[in-house]
């Protein structure tokens, strides 16, 4: 069992679903991965760990923001940070044995599934914290001990103990992920938003079980959602139109600008609307447009024009609505890939 993380690992079917990283802050080396789910092989690969090392979660104060996200090369990374009890001697002056450990949990999902990230990271962190908060220090000690050149029986025992805890942690992560996706897809499929439909399509594409004809259906299947449910009557469909819809997106080649036409679908005038267009550069989000719309007539279409940044092809268009009391809610997000949108040469 102690070698569970070093042996050959078969491709886990949930690898396409999400990857979970549990990391801690080592006062000597920086951020160190404690475990990776479902495949632990890549935690020592610099290239694979690159987005993790550069995730802005490291700048997060543990008691402030809830969590922060990063989108990188088709994956959304959700990071959450918390403090855990510690009893191990620290290797930096000024730190005591009781100085708490800084633990970071990062969940990476394909962008098609990013709709689930917020809830998943919250639930996962809560469960890991509830069950393993007191034991994390032993896992960290085990990780440090495994670097020792000479492994005395005492050190070996420490390593073994830490590895055992990691096995239980992995089991919990595995169970939580299965339960979460099964539950959430079922819930979301009842009133599918565009994002939820996209996520269901992704599951289907990757072969997660939905078909009522499949022999794999039954106890223990991924979810009980039927992608093609013949019993659903057309009349039962309840369609709720989103507040905004994008009518067109064009790239004007001559002026190197993006033109986005958006309609207010509601029958009431909207106020305090914030429009942003951002892109990711070197792991940081940069704004190319930040525009406040004071009022937006019912059914009115507005045109947003923004210059693009040379050599950047991907942008994120967002519409947020303020409630006048400082709370801002995201109403629409749309990724824009210049290679895929309509081009106008005039």
Binding of residue 237 to other proteins (CB under 8 A): no
Residue closer to other proteins, measured from CB, 53 or 265:
265
Residue from 190, 267, 282, 329 that binds other proteins (CB under 8 A)?
Answer: 267
How far apart (Å, rounded) are the C-alpha atoms in residues 89 and 28?
Answer: 12
- How much helix, strand and coil, in percent to the nearest 5, is found in the chain? 30, 30, 35
From 19-27, 50-58, 216-224, 302-310, span contacting other proteins (CB under 8 A) = 302-310
Residue from 307, 335, 337, 343 that binds other proteins (CB under 8 A)?
Answer: 307
Binding of residue 297 to other proteins (CB under 8 A): yes
Binding of residue 302 to other proteins (CB under 8 A): yes
Angle at 56 between CA 72 and CA 143, to 5 degrees: 95
Burial (CB < 10 A; 0-12, 13-18, 19+), residue 231, is exposed
Residue from 261, 272, 318, 333 that binds other proteins (CB under 8 A)?
Answer: 261
- The terminus-to-terminus CA distance of the chain in angstroms comes to 66
Binding of residue 259 to other proteins (CB under 8 A): yes
Tally Cβ neighbours within 10 Å of residue 81. 24
Binding of residue 60 to other proteins (CB under 8 A): no
**DSSP 3-state of 37:** strand
**Rg (alpha carbons) of the chain, rounded to whole number:** 24
Residue closer to other proteins, measured from CB, 303 or 340:
303
Binding of residue 146 to other proteins (CB under 8 A): no
Q: Which of 334, 332, 340, 288 is nearest to 313 (CA)?
A: 340
Residue from 111, 167, 289, 332 that binds other proteins (CB under 8 A)?
Answer: 289
Binding of residue 247 to other proteins (CB under 8 A): yes
Binding of residue 298 to other proteins (CB under 8 A): yes
Q: How many residues bind other proteins (CB under 8 A)?
A: 28
DSSP summary character for residue 65: S
Two structure tokens written together for 250 = 């064009």
Binding of residue 243 to other proteins (CB under 8 A): no
Two structure tokens written together for 135 = 């034991």
Binding of residue 334 to other proteins (CB under 8 A): no
Q: Which of 309, 310, 305 is nearest to 258 (CA)?
A: 305
Closest separation in Å from C-beta 246 to other proteins:
8
Residue from 274, 305, 332, 338 that binds other proteins (CB under 8 A)?
Answer: 305
Residue from 269, 284, 323, 340 that binds other proteins (CB under 8 A)?
Answer: 269
How far apart (Å, rounded) are the C-alpha atoms in residues 213 and 316?
Answer: 39
Number of DSSP helices (H) and strands (E) in the chain, helices first = 5, 13
Closest separation in Å from C-beta 269 to other proteins:
7
From 53-61, 225-233, 255-263, 314-322, span contacting other proteins (CB under 8 A) = 255-263
Closest separation in Å from C-beta 336 to other proteins:
16
Residue closer to other proteins, measured from CB, 100 or 298:
298
Bridge partners of 106?
A: 21, 79
Closest separation in Å from C-beta 256 to other proteins:
13
Angle between helices 153-189 and 117-132 (to 10 degrees): 140
Binding of residue 286 to other proteins (CB under 8 A): no
Angle between helices 153-189 and 194-205 (to 10 degrees): 120
Residue closer to other proteins, measured from CB, 53 or 290:
290
Binding of residue 145 to other proteins (CB under 8 A): no
Preceding omega of 261 cis (within 30 degrees of 0): no
Binding of residue 301 to other proteins (CB under 8 A): yes
What are the residues binding other proteins (CB under 8 A)? Answer: 245, 247-248, 257, 259, 261, 263, 267, 269, 275, 289, 291, 293-295, 297-307, 344, 346
């Amino acid at each position: 069992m102690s070698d569970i993380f070093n042996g050959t690992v078969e491709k886990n079917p949930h690898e396409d679903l999400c990857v979970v990283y549990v990391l801690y802050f080592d006062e000597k080396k920086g951020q160190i991965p404690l475990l990776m789910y479902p495949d632990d092989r890549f935690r020592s690969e610099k290239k694979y760990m690159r987005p993790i090392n550069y995730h802005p979660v490291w700048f997060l104060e543990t008691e402030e923001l809830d969590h922060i996200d990063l989108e990188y090369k088709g994956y959304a990374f959700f990071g959450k940070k918390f403090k855990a009890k510690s009893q191990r001697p620290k290797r930096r002056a000024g730190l005591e044995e009781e100085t708490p450990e800084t633990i970071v949990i990062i969940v990476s999902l394909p962008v098609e599934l990013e709709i689930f990230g917020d809830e998943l990271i919250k639930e996962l962190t809560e469960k890991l914290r509830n069950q393993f908060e007191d034991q994390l220090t032993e896992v960290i000690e085990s990780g440090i001990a495994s670097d020792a050149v000479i492994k005395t029986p005492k050190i070996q025992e420490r390593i073994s103990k830490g590895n055992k805890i990691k096995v239980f942690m992995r089991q919990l992560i595995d169970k939580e992920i299965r339960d979460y996706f099964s539950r959430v897809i079922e819930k979301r499929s009842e009133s599918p938003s565009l994002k939820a439909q996209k996520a269901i399509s992704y599951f289907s594409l990757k072969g997660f079980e939905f078909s009522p004809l499949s022999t794999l259906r039954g106890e223990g299947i991924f979810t009980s959602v039927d992608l093609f449910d013949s019993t659903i009557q057309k009349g039962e469909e309840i369609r709720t139109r989103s507040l905004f819809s994008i009518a067109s997106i064009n790239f004007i080649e001559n002026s190197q600008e993006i033109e986005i036409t958006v309609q207010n679908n509601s029958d009431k005038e909207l106020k305090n609307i914030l429009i942003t267009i951002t892109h990711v550069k070197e792991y940081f989000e940069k704004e190319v447009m930040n525009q406040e719309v004071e009022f937006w007539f019912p059914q009115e279409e507005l045109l947003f024009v923004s210059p693009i940044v040379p050599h950047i092809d991907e942008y994120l268009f967002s519409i947020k609505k303020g409630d006048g009391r400082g709370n801002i809610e995201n109403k629409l997000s749309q990724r824009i890939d210049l290679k895929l949108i309509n081009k106008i040469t005039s």
